[in-house]
Copies of this chain bind each other. A is one copy, B any other.
Amino acid sequence: MSDYRFLRACRRQPVDMTPVWLMRQAGRYMAEYRAVRAKYSMLETIRTPELACEITLQPLRAFALDAAIIFADILPLLIGMGLQLEFVSGEGPVICNPIASAADVDALRTPPAAENVPFTLEAIRLVRRELGGWLPLIGFSGAPFTLASYAIEGGGSKHHLKVKSFMLNEPDAWHRLMEKLTQVVGDYLVAQAEAGAQALQVFDSWAGVLAPADYRQLVLPYVQRVIAQARGTGVPVIYFGIDLNGMLGLLAETGAEVIGVDWRVEIDDAWRQLGDGVAIQGNLDPALLFGPWEQLQPRVDNILRRVAGRPGHIFNLGHGILPGTPVDNVRRLVEYVHERSAALKESAS
């Protein structure tokens, strides 16, 4: 297992070339994905293990990626807790009965993942069977804060005013909510590893809306607990969020082996602030894939050059790949990261 380039990089072991995968690599920019989604809704594809398995494999057939990531979503976990989730076309996810009071928190259930999202665990088993020894598989979950944010806001949000107001005005209920989410997320991560996931990414997509002092006090302790539980299974854990570049020092305290960073920071600056104890994942601006290759290439070079010769870099975008991304640029990017990083290693030795 530790011969996979991706897993070696997670553990900061030397590799022949920089491993690369892309957040949302199975997604709307691919015709193959759109063809499946033309027939099935978002929730249907997630809840049908054969469809989730097929979608997971699509980008691996098209590009020379170094890891698969299970096709799923962070929000279905909330359904079994008692929240009514819908994916509204053009609007994204909507929760029809968002949390608005301490009583709502106390009414939440905490079912184990095997009951709550058995379809994703089954999809992981199917993908592992399909992959054999070809590529490693990443499982993932939303982090407690990000799930709390969706549960309280009822969907995406510009100012995250409801979740922040809840934190401040209902501090006891906030901690009870985070306790419940920590239990559900921790169990889900462990269940994914047991089902066959060989690495786990914790998405804290919204943590960057907080001030560092609030993150440290109200969010970080729960992140530490889910990551410690996930690491107990022996698989490496990646922690990722955006807009966290003002508090990179705190992210080193999460306990994750790998920190994913967005594109708003030079990767070596980020790594210096994170310290030597972690690997780093990132960090190309996904919008740059809409440019011509001659503009894209120097920006990829910039990233590779800044971390050349230092084990523990996993190339990725700084956020999910965008719908409409030209597929040719994706193919070329993946090949170029391999070629160029191998050449940089060659010239250094």
Binding site for B on A (CB under 8 A): 159-161, 164-165, 167-169, 171, 208-214, 243-247, 249, 262-266, 269-270, 285-288, 290-292, 295-296, 299, 302, 318, 322, 324
Contacts and interface: CB of A to CB of B under 8 A. Distances in A.
9 contacts: A161-B290, A161-B322, A169-B295, A243-B243, A244-B264, A245-B246, A245-B264, A246-B264, A246-B269
Contact of A287 (B159, B247, B265): B159
Given A245-B246, A288-B168, A264 B159 contact: no
B246 A287 contact: no
A317 to B, nearest CB: 11
Contacts of A214: 285, 299
B165 A287 contact: yes
B292 A161 contact: no
B213 A299 contact: yes
Given A161-B290, A165-B291, A302 B264 contact: no
Contacts of A160: 287
A203 to B, nearest CB: 18
A285 B211 contact: yes
A213 B164 contact: no
A264 B164 contact: no
A243 B246 CA distance: 9
Nearest to A294: B168
Stoichiometry, copies per complex: 2
B290 A264 contact: no
Contacts of A168: 288, 290-292, 295-296
A291 B165 CA distance: 6
Nearest to A325: B161
A264 B247 contact: yes
A291 B169 contact: yes
Which residue, of A165, A214, A264, A296, has the highest number of chain B Cβ atoms within 10 A? A264
Contacts of A266: 212-213, 246-247
Nearest to A208: B264
A252 B33 CA distance: 45
Contact of A247 (B164, B265, B296): B265
A328 to B, nearest CB: 15
Given A246-B269, A291-B168, A211 B322 contact: no
A264 B243 contact: yes
Contacts of A299: 211, 213-214
Contacts of A288: 164, 168, 211
Contacts of A246: 245-246, 262, 264-266, 269-270
A213 B302 CA distance: 9
A99 B174 CA distance: 46
A18 B228 CA distance: 43
Contacts of A285: 164, 210-211, 214
A287 B245 contact: no
A283 B291 CA distance: 35
A164 B287 contact: yes
Contacts of A161: 287, 290, 322, 324
A164 B287 CA distance: 7
A212 B264 contact: yes
A324 B302 CA distance: 44
